[in-house]
Amino acid sequence: MDPLGARSQFIDIQTLPTWQQQLDEDGEGPPQDLNDSLFNEQTFPSPFPFRPDINRKIILHTGDVALLNCTAIVNTSNESLNDKNPVSDSIHRLAGPELREELLKLKGCRTGEAKLTKGYDLAARFIIHTVGPKYKTKYRTAAESSLYSCYRNIMQLAAERSMASVGFCVVSTTKRGYPLEDATHIAFRTVRRFLERHGNSIETVVFAVSNTEELVYKKLLPLYYPRSEDEEKASLPLIPADIGNSEGEPVVPERQIRIAEKPGSLEDDSEEDNLESDLDQVGNHAFARMEGDVDKQRKLILQGQMSEAAIQKQHQRNYNRWLCRARGEDLSDIAALKALYQTGVDMCGRTVMVVVGRNIPVTLIDIEKALLYFIHVMDHITAKEYVMVYFHTLTGEHNHLDSNFLKNLYDIVDTKFKRNLRAFYFVHPTFRSKASTWFFTTFSVSGIKDKVRYLDNLQQLFTCIKPEQIDIPPFVLEYDARVNGPYKRSQSSGL
């Protein structure tokens, strides 16, 4: 207890500015270049619209979560609830020895769970203990689901106990290796979705961060909690393609099972109703709005009568149509192929995207949906520098994408796809594939010719990307070991 007349070290959250209030205090609006973005012309809505009622519940605080006088604060720990990290150490120091005694009675906590104890000498009445996942690129999907469970279970516990306020620390500690920016996306969208659907009793959610964490939190908060309609529009292009389901939970497409009502049959007498229903949708879709004569615009381009700016604007508008459509389509069948996925980072810290040639059954899939899936997955990745790894290993004729499709894809995608691609690693190429690629990159898409690197074995790839940073299909590993010999880690120990 503080000496009589002494100022308390604890912080009254009522004195902290809310996220909505910080817009006026910081005097920060959306960047001008985003304000002018063509996304402002689009009619499709943001998945996280401007909600001042929710923004007034959010507080971003740079400081120790243990000092907040919330109803409950969050402690991030390990499965034995005895982790040594700055957040946990501060909470135990201020709460007193009784907290340790109560934790021993809980007999641990599994990853993703949340358990409650008293706050003891803290200003907070309760402490919610949770265990974040250990992050490994190979098991990224499991880590995402576990981290979602942490935030979801904390909010659920707070709602069930009618807690007025919750103070969050950053659940994913450095020790557990979860990339901060990826973890922050999951935290923000999970809390946002919960407040939208179940958060009537929760008045305040405080995100307590360190100075280094504050930069990431301030950058991503506008995406999920826009403070004005302008900020909502400006943030829309930056929202990741993967925003989870209606609860914010990560979606694993291959686990989704669609069951049609009365499968295998269509009632003849419903045909007229179906037609009427389809006609009702005409004009409601984002793409159905009136625009200029497209054929006329193309004619002007061919005749060289359109300015460079007008051409770029037309191209951006066309790409935005594809992106909007990609976000609305069910692409789970394409995702299930696991032909395109994000893995770790290369030696320069750039995101690595993997394409597995053998997993592309060109003759069986809907090529247009494949194009939509590529745009859907890659849009947020290409906002910054990235590299691509293409495994040509054991591909057959039925796996080779037509050059016209690749040219069409290259022409459709946004300029950031081409500008921010730093390298295209072509692993296990054949003589024929090298010749085809040379011809294609020379005469069709010359912009990426200098970025293509042919790698005959995985050893060469590991000089650019550490083995633990890339999820390689087992058949590729087996092929490389059979043809080039087993990979010896000692050879790359200096990487």
Mind listing the pLDDT tens digit for each residue in 127-137? Answer: 999 999 999 88
Q: Which range (86-90, 292-296, 428-432, 471-475) has the least confidence?
A: 292-296
Q: Is the pLDDT of residue 47 over 60?
A: yes
Predicted pLDDT at 160: 92
The residue-averaged pLDDT of 20-32 equals: 64
Q: Is the pLDDT of residue 19 over 60?
A: yes
Predicted pLDDT at 200: 87
Predicted pLDDT at 302: 53
Q: Is the pLDDT of residue 276 over 90?
A: no
Predicted pLDDT at 101: 94
pLDDT mean across residues, the chain: 82
For residues 133 and 111, give the distance between their C-alpha atoms in angstroms, rounded to a whole number: 6
Predicted pLDDT at 284: 44
| CA distances (Å), origin 275, targets 264, 279, 282, 288 | 19, 6, 11, 18
Burial code (b: 16+ CB inside 10 Å, e: under 16) for 59-88 equals: bbbeebbbbbbbbbbbbbbbeebebebebb
Looking at residue 78, its amino acid is: N
| More confident position, 329 or 220 | 220
Q: Which range (162-166, 218-222, 272-276, 318-322) has the least confidence?
A: 272-276
pLDDT bracket for residue 479 (50, 70, 90):
very high
Predicted pLDDT at 253: 55
Both tokens assigned to 367? 């090529």
Q: Which range (104-108, 287-291, 358-362) has the least confidence?
A: 287-291
Q: Is the pLDDT of residue 369 over 80?
A: yes
Helix orientation angle between 403-412 and 308-328, rounded to the nearest 10 degrees: 110
Predicted pLDDT at 448: 85
| More confident position, 474 or 42 | 474
| More confident position, 26 or 154 | 154
Predicted pLDDT at 16: 95
pLDDT bracket for residue 272 (50, 70, 90):
very low
Predicted pLDDT at 273: 47
Backbone angles phi, psi at 340, to 5 degrees: -140, 125
Predicted pLDDT at 267: 44
Q: Is the pLDDT of residue 317 over 80?
A: yes
| CA distances (Å), origin 251, targets 42, 138, 186, 254, 332 | 26, 17, 12, 9, 10
Predicted pLDDT at 278: 44
Identify the structural domains of the chain with CATH numbers, from first to last: 13-252 (3.40.220.10), 332-492 (3.40.525.10)
The residue-averaged pLDDT of 111-132 equals: 96
The residue-averaged pLDDT of 148-167 equals: 95
pLDDT bracket for residue 99 (50, 70, 90):
very high
Q: Is the pLDDT of residue 70 over 90?
A: yes
Please name the residues in contact with 80: beta carbons below 8 A apart, sequence gap of 6 or more. 108
Residue 394 near residue 358, CB atoms below 8 Å: yes
**Maximum mean pLDDT: which of 216-225, 296-305, 399-408:** 216-225
pLDDT bracket for residue 24 (50, 70, 90):
low
Predicted pLDDT at 192: 96
Q: Is the pLDDT of residue 259 over 60?
A: no
Predicted pLDDT at 27: 54
Predicted pLDDT at 490: 46
The radius of gyration of the chain from alpha carbons, rounded to an integer in Å, stands at 26
Q: Is the pLDDT of residue 327 over 90?
A: no
Q: Is the pLDDT of residue 311 over 90?
A: no
| More confident position, 56 or 403 | 56
Predicted pLDDT at 170: 96
Predicted pLDDT at 228: 93
The residue-averaged pLDDT of 34-61 equals: 74
pLDDT bracket for residue 260 (50, 70, 90):
very low
pLDDT bracket for residue 13 (50, 70, 90):
very high
Q: Is the pLDDT of residue 283 over 50?
A: no
Q: Is the pLDDT of residue 310 over 60?
A: yes
Burial code (b: 16+ CB inside 10 Å, e: under 16) for 40-56 equals: eebebebbbebbeebbe
